[in-house]
Structure 1
Amino acid sequence: MRIGAHLRQDDDPIGIGESLGADIVQLFLTDPQKWDKPEPHPQTERILRSPIDVVVHSSYVINVASLNNRLRMPSRKAVADQAAAAAEIGALGLVVHGGHVRDGEDPAAGVTNWRKLFERQQDKGGFAVPILIENTAGGDFAMARHLDAIARLWDAVGEFGAGFCLDTCHAWAGGEELPGIVERIKGITGRIDLVHLNNSRDEFNSARDRHANLATGTIDPAMLTDIASAAGAPLILETPAEGIADDLAYLRDALTAG
């Protein structure tokens, strides 16, 4: 089982990963709050040579599901550009949030837009790395907050080889019970490719995406360890930076003891 962390500083991902004793790191390849196209990473050769695996998180501004052409069209381009940049550093995949439509709009249209993303890219030879769709914490019109919505989304995109990233904080805050969550997700998608193993600062079904360190949030840490064991997928911690080294040590100890 490969365990690692999201890096807030992306200039030396391998050096930071080594200092943490990580097996895998997650990073952005461009400013997550902007539409900038990724530039070649200055440490590409070192990343490719390292035994530390890499996964890329896409920009937060992306919303593939949107019915607004001025948001959806640049989102499609950004996913393709960031997937290509992820491939250049040998990444395992590109994590993309499920997105949402606006209040009063038909969520089915957002699902259709996700399908069109894959259909259009298939005509161009497909994405350069797997697209890992991540469940989200809030929004009544979200594509991947609740399991029934994820099932509708998977009916539309599963045939294109979409992957799934399970975020434990998002599931909890989104109102999904965590016991048995791995089995329920796999029953829908057939897979979990990555786990964002995060505790939550807020209560169950709060719809607030605020991560906490593993032993200090509102989720029972033993439940997080159980999910980590059951998922059988690489684990990325996106917990607060000041405690992430302790989180990695805690998780390794807990998994070894289990």
Structure 2
Amino acid sequence: MRIGAHVDSADPLAEATARGAEAVQFFLTDPQGYKSPKPREDAERLRASEVDVYIHAPYIINVATLNNRIRIPSRKLLMAHAKAAAELGAKGLIVHGGHVGAGADLDAGFANWKKAFEYAENDGGLPLPVLIENTAGGDNACARRFDALARLWEAVGPFGAGFCLDTCHAYAGGEDLVGIVDRVKSITGRIDLVHANDSKGGFDSGQDRHDNLGSGKIDPELVVAAIRASGAPAIVETPGGVEGQAADIALLRERAGV
């Protein structure tokens, strides 16, 4: 069970050392832009490092939408980031579950997710696991409520999709953290990564606002329990820079017994 943090992309390995992290997650490009990643000068160091690497895809990616001007570039960008992440020896590429527009049928969003994986297969296949992350807000989200997640998994599960459980997103999205791992695994069969975050927003608030462990609305023991039950690596995406994240990592190590 390895524990790390989301860090600045300039020198991820130095950031890992500063936090005592065994894993890092970072963006390859502006998370709000459509630019494709460029080769990194530290690619060989990242591949050779004992620090596990995870790449987070841009937030702007939404392969579920019915809007062709967003969906088609999103599919291409997802594939570009998957290839670039694989070049760094990354363990997985995390991407948000996406949403459809107001009044649109969610079934169309699930079908579009399936098409995204089919697109990837036609483009030579995904070179690393794509980990779909549950999200906090939106009534038209594909991965906020777990009833929707079950329908999404019917579409993408056969393609080997992985899952990233975000504790803040689940809590703010209206999903009880007690027994959450069993509920997720009954749907997806797997949890590949945990985003171990506290929540500034209340239960079912729909607010995607992370906080340091023990500083927000979530009992940190519920986060620890989720990590223990999942057996998956954990990444903190919390504020406070080196000091704040190092404290969160230390808390998880101490209480999870790793």
1:241 is displaced (CA, Å) by 3.0
CA distance in 2, matches of 1:74, 1:221: 38
CA distance in 2, matches of 1:215, 1:160: 37
Q: Which amino acid aligns with 2:58?
A: S
Aligned residue number for residue 255 of structure 1: 256
Matched ranges for 1:160-199 at <5 A = 160-199=159-198
Matched ranges for 1:208-247 at <5 A = 208-242=207-241, 243-247=244-248
The C-alpha deviation readout for 1:55-110, integer Å capped at 9, x for no partner, is 00000110010100000000000000000000010001100100000110111000
User: Contact conserved, 2:75 with 2:119, CA < 8 A, in 1?
Assistant: no
Aligned residue number for residue 40 of structure 2: 41
1:114 is displaced (CA, Å) by 0.1
Aligned residue number for residue 64 of structure 1: 63
1:123 is displaced (CA, Å) by 2.1
Identical counterparts, % of pairs: 57
1:125 is displaced (CA, Å) by 2.4
With the length of structure 1 as denominator, give the TM-score of the two structures: 0.97
CA distance in 2, matches of 1:151, 1:241: 35
CA distance in 2, matches of 1:102, 1:53: 36
Equivalent residue of 2:257, what SS? helix
Q: Which amino acid aligns with 2:234?
A: L
CA distance in 2, matches of 1:40, 1:125: 20
The C-alpha deviation readout for 1:223-257, integer Å capped at 9, x for no partner, is 11111111110100001134111111111111129
Q: Which amino acid aligns with 2:186?
A: G
1:140 is displaced (CA, Å) by 0.5
Matched ranges for 1:7-156 at <5 A = 7=7, 9-156=8-155
CA distance in 2, matches of 1:204, 1:93: 29
CA distance in 2, matches of 1:256, 1:137: 29
Structure 2 regions of 5+ residues with no counterpart? none
Query: Considering only aligned residues, what root-mean-square deviation do their CA atoms show, in Å?
Result: 0.9
CA distance in 2, matches of 1:160, 1:11: 33
CA distance in 1, matches of 2:10, 2:4: 17
Equivalent residue of 1:38, what SS? coil
With the length of structure 2 as denominator, give the TM-score of the two structures: 0.97
Q: Which amino acid aligns with 1:3?
A: I
Structure 1 regions of 5+ residues with no counterpart? none
Count of aligned pairs: 256
CA distance in 1, matches of 2:145, 2:136: 9
Query: More deviation in 157-166 or 16-25?
Result: 16-25
Equivalent residue of 1:195, what SS? strand
